[in-house]
Amino acid sequence: MIYYKTDEEIELIRKSCLLVSKTLAMIAEILRPGVRGIDVDKLAEEFICDHGAVPGFKGLYGFPNTLTISRNHAVVHGVPSKEEFKDGEIASIDCGVYWDDFYGDSAYTFAIGDVNESVMRLLEVTNDSLYAGIEQVEVGKRLGDVGFAIQSYINNHNYSIVRDLVGHGVGRSLHEEPKVPNYGRRGQGLKLKEGLVIAIEPMINMGRKEVYLSEDGHTIVTRDGKPSAHFEHTVAVRKKGVDILSDQSLIEIAMQKNVNLKNINRALATA
């Protein structure tokens, strides 16, 4: 069953999505080598609760934490740990909140410290593929058009699309119909109608597409051990076109503050 949202419901989903984006932005300011995932998770939970919302992931499908933190070759659903982040790592951080009866959902893959240029390119292409898919979201198009746009962009850069995991509808439940694959054929699949709200989330591997479930029962990792990137927006289909309900710009501004602080500390250390 697919639930199409009213304008009022879309605004409530936007509010939840913006709180997710603000949470990820808060994380972006503090994320650096030496920080522990479990501490970031605790801060995120406090931040969400202080705004009167509830962490959307905690307890869902037995997941124990507020954030999923998936490092390096982990694709998604990583469990925050006491291990410190290391210079040169990447981490996909996915966050959801439940606020006023509706969920928000978004993810961003962060570069921690000085990351290898080839891995940075993976992050850039994955994020660009997300927007290639979003550009296809309009009344009358189909989910296959969204998936085809992502697939074509990724294929042109010789990366692999994880096939076992897909995006989804968002609303009163975190995971609603329809499923939103990151691959497809133009003109195929569900026709997009006004009021549809979906999470588009390319999960892209540097190596092969195959993944498996790790021993913790939650984390999905690449079969070949090569890095994976993951970016996600929740979007709504409107008469005038796509409406992006989450906001990456908040994260990017916070990341720049982090970089500026690092540069200041370097300058002070050498003064």
pLDDT digits (tens, 9 = 90+) for 38-60: 999 999 999 999 999 999 999 99
Residue 249: CATH number of its domain: 3.90.230.10
Residue 2 within a domain: no
What residues make up the domain containing 29? 7-270
Give the burial class of 172: count Cβ atoms within 10 A of its Cβ; 0-12 exposed, 13-18 middle, 19 or more buried.
middle
Count up the domains in the chain and report the number: 1
pLDDT of residue 59: 96
CA pair distance 49, 207, nearest whole angstrom: 38
pLDDT value for 269: 47
169 occurs within a structural domain: yes
1, part of any domain = no
Tens of pLDDT, residues 212-263: 999 999 999 999 999 999 999 999 999 999 999 999 999 999 998 776 555 5
DSSP-derived secondary structure for 105-140: EEEEEEEESS--HHHHHHHHHHHHHHHHHHTT-STT
Residue 245, token pair as written in the block: 């309900």
- Rounded percentage of the chain residues whose pLDDT exceeds 90: 94
Q: Is residue 201 part of a domain?
A: yes
Q: What pLDDT does residue 259 have? A: 67
Q: Is residue 33 part of a domain?
A: yes
> What would the pLDDT profile of 158-198 be if each residue is shown by its tens digit?
999 999 999 999 999 999 999 999 999 999 999 999 999 99
Give domain status of residue 88, yes or no: yes
- Whether 268 has a pLDDT exceeding 50, the answer reads no
Q: Does a structural domain hold residue 241?
A: yes
pLDDT in tens, 209-224: 999 999 999 999 999 9
